[in-house]
Amino acid sequence: MITFDEKTKIFKLDTPNTSYVMGIADNRYLGHVYYGKKLNDTNLGYLMRTKEAPFVPSENLREKVSFFDSFPMEMPCGGVGDFRESALLVSCKGQEAAELFYVSHEIFHGKKKLKGLPATWGENCDTLEITMEDEVLGLQVVLSYTAFTDTDAIARSLRLVNGGSGDLYVKKALSACVDMDQKDFEFLSLFGSWARERHIETVPVGHGGISIESLRGEPGHQEHPFFALTGKNCSQDAGEAYGFHFVYSGNFLGKVKMNQFGNLRAVMGIHPDSFTWKLEPGAEFTAPEVILVYSDEGLGKMSRTYHDLYRNHLIRSPWKDKARPVLINNWEATYFEFDDEKLLSIAREASKAGIEMLVMDDGWFGHRNSDNSSLGDWQVNEDKIKGGLEHLVDEVNALGMEFGIWFEPEMISPDSDLYCNHPDWVLQMQGRVPGLAREQLVLDFSRPEVLEYVYESVASILRTANISYVKWDMNRPLADCGSSYLPEDQQGEVMHRHVLGVYELQERLLEEFPNLLLENCSGGGARFDPGMLYYSPQIWCSDDTDAVERLMIQEGTQLVYPLSAIGAHVSDCPNHATGRVTPFATRGIVAMAGTFGYELDITKIPPEEREMIPQQIEEFKKYYPLVNAGDYYRLASYRENHIYDCYELVSKNKKQAMVTFVQVMAEPNIHSRKIYLKGLEEDTVYEVEGKRYTGSTLMYAGLLIPGMWGDYQAKIIDVLAV
Ligand code: DGJ
């Protein structure tokens, strides 16, 4: 529910358990009043402290700049005296300044779409749009807030409209800013690298500030567009956590800084470096949304809120609630060395084991036999796929399996026909040789003809055969971001235009092929972000398929993403990223906390492992309703204790749960581990491994897990209400 109190000039946005409050001060400034546990009052204007020195400008104009030092500005602008982090910077005739005054507001049920951008959707929500204006610039800024009525989440975004007569240049338009009173906050973020994405890290917040960012044109492996401010002693189950998550797949900045009075300002949005957007008279610019979540029951509740929001209000795919086909992907099985016969030999063996889809990965087009050529030449290499794609797909279908295919549509190899014909289609700066990464360059998505070419390349392949699944990969970051198509004063738009181009292409693809199962991917998990989830219900989580490393990658990913979105496969050992050897059964159990599939040469693995596959698939299907829709509870973290990992999924009706326990390191002379289950009904009796316990016993007295023999052992424990 959203209210506006005319008398106090207070806006109050309520979700089931949280309130977000703003107020109009001095008849013009929009101030942030409160965000946190739900309040019943609206008489909250005192929290903006406008009756304290330095007072509001109408009362004390001689200290206007000091007012900006302390006022909790909801949309702070640069250039006029707020020296803290600004959310908006606009350049006009070479001068950078803006000052926004409240003009009007509108409250309505539901939520509007964000033009060209991914965004949350749904009926169970109300939206407040506040229009602010800078009369000097002729700029209107519409701040949009959606409060969900079924989830404790608030979505914020921004629309800029040039209502004046001159060109404006937007240098910075961050989507969210929250000013907070001093609390002993810590800053939790997800950091990593290729093959070890999204590890959790927590550091204190101090005066120097702290930030997360990407300038790679995608979120990247290294940092993630999410941070949480957590109260001291925040645990999985208790304490305060404020989550900020950006629904965007390009450059981002998230920053928190403590000011001279010990108060915090937290901001998030498109990174202002490498960004300028020209706004001609009448033109609009929409900044993507940030999802704010507040929990007073620790990180666990924050995670469950994000999971519910993304499952019910972000992912749109018809596959959203369906079990995805169990696939086998040939990447780690063959890399580039395959032909139709090799693929069919894998498919034959896979179909016998009950695997439902074959995915043909990189290397099927142009003359690509390694990663040094052919990106952009999306024609089937008939030396490898003899008889053509349709023939191969028909053969796979005849085995009772579906067929999926890999693309990397944003890229171009210098060694390609496309590059020979259109060298100007590449991102490059005048007079500079663009830098290679994985021996490839990036296409200029500002050019309409490039988008058209790429769309037709992908769509025409999908039109030729019965293809059910596409893996959309991206294996290098953006650099040399110049466009020979855009005029000089729009070169700063290239990186955002790239992301908009990706969104446009995926939207078009899903319109033409509505039942397509799309999986996004970027050299593993470099573009695992909520924006991509709007298009694909699942994203490849990491090129690291090692069961132990995956525990940490998946724990960080599960912190904000539903398990049904996390691409996870069983691969061969020694693992290709770590060299570690883990039991096949453990690899299966770890991959079940995701979309589940195989990525190995099934014709070569030991027969005893092959024989385990039908049983693993059966188990995955049995547990899938919990993986897809259950409430996630973390019981223990290998990242923290260095011995074992444990998580639980509980059905919404609390009648069923599964507990995954992985003993990473065997411990001598310790005969059992006690785990405390969560999220059950206290008085309900549950059956666990043939014994009966009440929910209260399992949660408060605990369950004993007998020690297992050896490292890397795992099991799933069923918990069923009697
Ligand atoms: C990176 C992906 O993460 C891998 O799974 C694989 O598709 C390769 N790219 C292919 O080049």
If you measure from the C-alpha of residue 394 to the centroid of ligand 1, how many angstroms do you get, rounded to a whole number?
25
Q: From CA 39, how far away is CA 248, in angstroms rounded?
A: 31
Query: Average pLDDT in the 116-132 region?
Result: 98
Q: Are 650 and 710 in contact (CB under 8 A)?
A: no
Residue 475 Cβ < 6 Å to ligand 1: yes
* Pocket residue to mutate for ligand 1, from 337, 532, 540, 571, most atoms within 8 A of Cβ: 540
**Contact yes or no for 58/26 (Cβ under 8 A):** yes
Ligand 1 contacts CB of residue 528 (under 6 A): no
Query: pLDDT of 45-70, one tens digit each?
Result: 999 999 999 999 999 999 999 999 99
Chain segment 439-492, per-residue pLDDT in tens: 999 999 999 999 999 999 999 999 999 999 999 999 999 999 999 999 999 999
**How far does CA 335 lie from the centroid of its chain?**
27
pLDDT digits (tens, 9 = 90+) for 490-516: 999 999 999 999 999 999 999 999 999
**pLDDT for residue 587:** 98
DSSP 697: I
pLDDT at position 148 is 98
Residue 537 to residues 312, 491, 565, 632, Cα–Cα distance (Å):
12, 33, 6, 18
* Residues 279-335: tens digit of each pLDDT: 999 999 999 999 999 999 999 999 999 999 999 999 999 999 998 999 999 999 999
Q: Is the CB of 362 under 6 A from ligand 1?
A: yes
Half-sphere exposure of 365 (CA within 13 A, CB side): 25
Q: Which residues of 429-447 are buried (b: 16+ CB within 10 A; e: fewer)?
A: eeeeebeeeeebbbbbbbb
pLDDT of 75:
97
Dihedral pair phi/psi, residue 182, rounded to 5°? -55, 130
For the chain, report the end-to-end CA distance as a whole number of angstroms: 39
Mean pLDDT of all residues belonging to the chain: 97
Report the distance separating Cα 393 and Cα 357, nearest Å: 11
Q: Which residue has the tokens 């369906």?
A: 322
* pLDDT greater than 90 at residue 344: yes
In this predicted structure, the answer to whether residue 164 has a pLDDT above a threshold of 80 is: yes
Nearest ligand 1 atom, CA 522: 3
pLDDT at 136 exceeding the cut of 80:
yes
Statement: residue 183 has pLDDT above 90: no
For residue 524, give the ligand 1 atom closest to its CA: 3
Q: Given the DSSP bridges, would you call strands 672-675 and 703-706 parallel, antiparallel or unpaired?
A: antiparallel
Q: Are 525 and 221 in contact (CB under 8 A)?
A: yes
**Which tens digit of pLDDT belongs to each residue from 389-403?**
999 999 999 999 999
- Whether residue 405 has its Cβ less than 6 Å from ligand 1: no
Element (H, E) at 499: helix 494-512
Domains in the chain: ranges and CATH: 2-313 (2.70.98.60), 327-412+445-476+496-629 (3.20.20.70), 636-721 (2.60.40.1180)
| pLDDT one-digit tens code per residue, 532-575 | 999 999 999 999 999 999 999 999 999 999 999 999 999 999 99
Distance of CA 23 to the CA centre of its chain: 31
The candidate with the shortest Cα–Cα distance to 211, out of 168, 266, 170, 249, is 266
Q: Which of 173, 275, 272, 159 is nearest to 213 (CA)?
A: 272
Q: How far is CA 521 from CA 454, 464, 542, 654, in A?
A: 17, 23, 8, 34
DSSP secondary structure string, 510-523? HHHSTT-EEEE-BT
How many Å apart are CA 2 and CA 105, to the nearest integer?
A: 12
Report whether residue 543 contacts ligand 1, using a CB cutoff of 6 Å: yes
b/e sequence 203-214, b meaning 16+ C-beta within 10 Å: eebeeebbbbbb
**Ligand 1 geometric centre to CA of 47 (Å):** 52
Could you tell me if 285 and 163 are in contact, meaning their C-beta atoms sit under 8 angstroms apart? Answer: no
Q: Give me the percent of the chain exceeding a pLDDT of 90.
A: 98
pLDDT at 182 over 80: no
Q: Would you give the distance in Å from CA 486 to the centre of its chain? A: 30
Residue type, 501: G
Index of the ligand 1 atom closest to the CA of residue 371:
11
Ligand 1 mean position, distance from CA 243 (Å) = 30
- Whether 361 lines ligand 1, by a CB cut-off of 6 Å, is yes
Comparing C-alpha atoms, which of 552, 530, 557 is closest to residue 541? 557
Would you name the residues annotated as active-site residues? 473, 543
pLDDT for 134 equals 98
Q: Distance between CA 288 and CA 592 in Å, rounded?
A: 32
Residues 6+ apart with CB under 8 A from 342: 330, 334
Distance separating alpha carbons of residues 337 and 384, to the nearest angstrom: 9
Residue 521, ligand 1, Cβ within 6 A: yes
Q: How far is CA 372 from CA 369, 414, 418, 437, 475, in A?
A: 8, 8, 14, 10, 12
Please name the residues in contact with 716: beta carbons below 8 A apart, sequence gap of 6 or more: 589, 592, 619, 623, 658, 659, 660, 661
Please, are residues 531 and 253 in contact by the beta-carbon 8 Å criterion?
A: no
Spatial contact of 602 and 346, defined as CB atoms under 8 Å apart: yes
Ligand 1, atom nearest to 521 Cα: 3
**Residue 530, ligand 1, Cβ within 6 A:** no
The best mutation among 542, 543, 553 to test binding of ligand 1, ranked by most ligand atoms within 8 Å of the C-beta, falls on 543
Residue (of 224, 134, 141) closest to 187 by Cα position: 224
**pLDDT 10s digits, 205-245:** 989 999 999 999 999 999 999 999 999 889 999 999 999 99
Phi, psi of 281 (to 5 degrees): -55, 130
Please tell me the predicted confidence (pLDDT) of residue 232: 87
